[in-house]
Structure 1
Amino acid sequence: MNRVTAWLPDRIDRRVRVVAWLSFLAQTIIIATGGAVRLTGSGLGCPTWPLCTEGSLVTTPEMGIHGMIEFGNRLMTGVVGIVAVLVVLSIWRIRRERRDLWTLAVVVVLGIVAQAIVGGITVWTGLNPFIVGFHYVASLVLVCVTAAYLVRLDAVPGPRELAVPSWYAGLTHATTAVLAVSIVFGVLTTASGPHSGDADAGRTGYNAELLEHVHAWPGYALFVLTLVLLVGASRLRLPVRRWVVVLLLVEVVQIAVGLYQARNGLPPLAVGVHMVLAALTAATMTVLVLKLKRPTATAAPAGDAAVAASAR
């Protein structure tokens, strides 16, 4: 055990960064595989949980392609869990000095466990659309947490202060709220549309066409607010300008995909891309919010020393 502990990183090195990026990528990929399950009608490809069928942990030939797709997504949950544990182990020796990283890593592990249980409930309830929607939102939140972890890897621990004017920070938080509203209505729209995950799965009963328009309104408001943030960041030469540009670019692609899918009968591939882009938009917004602050003057010298020690 001592040898294993001694092998673990005692600073933020390449191993810590690699597993952190793997965690972010895994959380994003599982949204894509989960979307594939739903968009191919494979939501009940494995009709039981935690087993795939009553007598088998894995899919059987009788389950066909739908069983393979659903079981593949379940396997991805295992991959995500293993990577999350590796993240925890990678900062085990520095967990006291970097409580921020430790907290985020533990949140991801607990979130994955909770997500597995919610996935089981989703199957038991025959793909209840509200539970399916919650399952997606929870996955999206985990993408944001892993993105926050990546940001904090390079952050100086200790007290922080605003690096932008207070009005700009307030506008950024308001933009984040608009993004959240857009995502919620996007989930409701999908839950009311044709992609239920199974032919016998229930729908919300809401008017999907009306929800498409309601979902678009905060989406356009988000785009306008991001433009305002970009103008403000450019004129004031704020340090967050680069991330506002990234956010705007992701939004442009997301809007284009949204318009395409709405005008072409919601093709499954486009819907799946739209789901993943929503997660990436939320992750980019998370980074932007975290970049609104910088270390205080008193925290900077100690932080510089810590960064220098990590580089050695």
Structure 2
Amino acid sequence: MINSKTPTDSRNDRLFRKLTLFAVITVYLLIAAGGIVRSTGSGMGCPDWPKCFGSWVPPTEAYQLPSNYKELYGAKLKGEVEFNVVKTWTEYVNRLLGVFTGILIFGTLLASVPYLRTHKSNLFYASLAAFILVGIQGWLGSKVVSTELHPLMVTLHMVVAIVIVFILIYTLIRSYPPRTNTFKNKKFLLVKQLIVLSIVLSFGQVMLGTQVREAMDGAISMLGYDARSQWIEQLGLPFYIHRSFSLVVLGVNTLLVYQIWNERKRSRLRRYLIQGVIVVILLEIFSGIVMAYFSVPAFAQPIHLTLAIVMLGTQYSLWLESTDILSAEKKQMVGTA
């Protein structure tokens, strides 16, 4: 594990790392919240944006709404015009978490300003990119609502969330001094290539998952939320491709785990990350089995989605850590030449 404090740490370094770590965790929570919104059909719980039923704080009872709210919002709610307080507040809490995430990432941007005139200026620009993307993510959120959950907008919304996670992980790991280690170069380069391949395949699996989700949305619109046991039957080819491709992802990651596990010298961070890959993949497969064979329970969908993004983040952290090691070793070789 990365030491929380190094000899050259300043107070700002420690603050920046804490804020960035909290931002990563919050983004993952936001992704999970988005999964809960979709799995419970709460995406239109607030039919307008940025307000909810025309108010900054949504109602808790139908009588608090305008008397003609069914006429005002009936088209967007597609006939489900009876006020549902659970769906409304599920979506509203998701939005609040999004605002909190934006504030936290803005805090990391402010904490990165001192790096602007140092050799760590990349941390400022990465933090700035994350903050800009959070703004874009908020705009995409409004489009998701205004387009009434159009599949393309929902998918794009998720992709941007993944990019934000990657940027924040980059800033967190790069805020620490490079770590050195001793490896046989050919084997280490092979491991790095396996990491890249695992990221590509895992991202492809996530994109296939969005196709399954779109097919499931079609099944939901046709059968309703009370017919969960019949959803899987309606998914067709995307579901079977997604399920079969998981074996490819598992195979490549198993090979990656084997190669890193047999390294003679590996950092504590590297050991924790590869253990994380193992645990997350097993949990991801288990949650997929639960969804496929137990009528797609609502709790399993956000877990399945969040685990997929956690897996991508862990694999990306491994890649960054590998790049750090190679960079440090090259500098060491130049220094001794």
Calculate the TM-score normalised by the size of structure 2: 0.76
For the Cα contact (< 8 Å) 2:36–2:301, is it kept in 1? Answer: no
Whole-angstrom CA distance in 1 between matches of 2:211 and 2:113: 40
Q: Mean alpha-carbon deviation: is it higher for 175-184 or for 139-148?
A: 139-148
Q: Taking structure 1 as reference, are residues 153 and 198 closer, same or farther at Cα in structure 2, changes over 3 Å only? A: farther
> In the TM superposition, what is the alpha-carbon distance from 1:13 to its structure 2 partner?
3.5
Whole-angstrom CA distance in 2 between matches of 1:134 and 1:196: 21
> In the TM superposition, what is the alpha-carbon distance from 1:238 to its structure 2 partner?
5.7
Q: Taking structure 1 as reference, are residues 49 and 147 closer, same or farther at Cα in structure 2, changes over 3 Å only? A: same
For the Cα contact (< 8 Å) 1:10–1:91, is it kept in 2? Answer: no
Q: Taking structure 1 as reference, are residues 256 and 200 closer, same or farther at Cα in structure 2, changes over 3 Å only? A: closer
Equivalent residue letter for 2:164: L
Alignment correspondent of 1:133: 155
Equivalent residue letter for 1:237: R
Alignment correspondent of 2:132: 110
Equivalent residue letter for 2:155: G
Alignment correspondent of 2:21: 21
Sequence identity (%): 23
Provide the alpha-carbon RMSD of the alignment: 2.9
Greater Cα radius of gyration, structure 1 or 2: 2
For the Cα contact (< 8 Å) 2:178–2:328, is it kept in 1? Answer: no
> In the TM superposition, what is the alpha-carbon distance from 1:12 to its structure 2 partner?
4.9
For the Cα contact (< 8 Å) 2:257–2:274, is it kept in 1? Answer: yes
> In the TM superposition, what is the alpha-carbon distance from 1:246 to its structure 2 partner?
2.0
For the Cα contact (< 8 Å) 1:23–1:80, is it kept in 2? Answer: yes
Which consecutive unaligned segments of at least 5 residues does structure 1 have?
1-8, 202-206, 302-312
Q: Deviations over 1:207-240 (max 9, x none)?
A: 6242222112332211111111122223343634
Alignment correspondent of 1:85: 106
1:296 aligns with 2:319: no
For the Cα contact (< 8 Å) 1:42–1:197, is it kept in 2? Answer: no
Correspondence 1:155-174 to 2 at 5 A: 155-156=177-178, 165-174=188-197
Q: Taking structure 1 as reference, are residues 17 and 216 closer, same or farther at Cα in structure 2, changes over 3 Å only? A: same
Q: How many residues align?
A: 285
> In the TM superposition, what is the alpha-carbon distance from 1:119 to its structure 2 partner?
0.6
For the Cα contact (< 8 Å) 1:101–1:153, is it kept in 2? Answer: yes
Q: Deviations over 1:63-108 (max 9, x none)?
A: 5222211111111111001100111111211223212211221121
Q: Taking structure 1 as reference, are residues 196 and 156 closer, same or farther at Cα in structure 2, changes over 3 Å only? A: farther
For the Cα contact (< 8 Å) 1:42–1:70, is it kept in 2? Answer: yes
For the Cα contact (< 8 Å) 2:33–2:302, is it kept in 1? Answer: no
> In the TM superposition, what is the alpha-carbon distance from 1:196 to its structure 2 partner?
8.5
Alignment correspondent of 2:169: 147
Give the SS at the match of 1:58. coil
Q: Taking structure 1 as reference, are residues 36 and 197 closer, same or farther at Cα in structure 2, changes over 3 Å only? A: farther
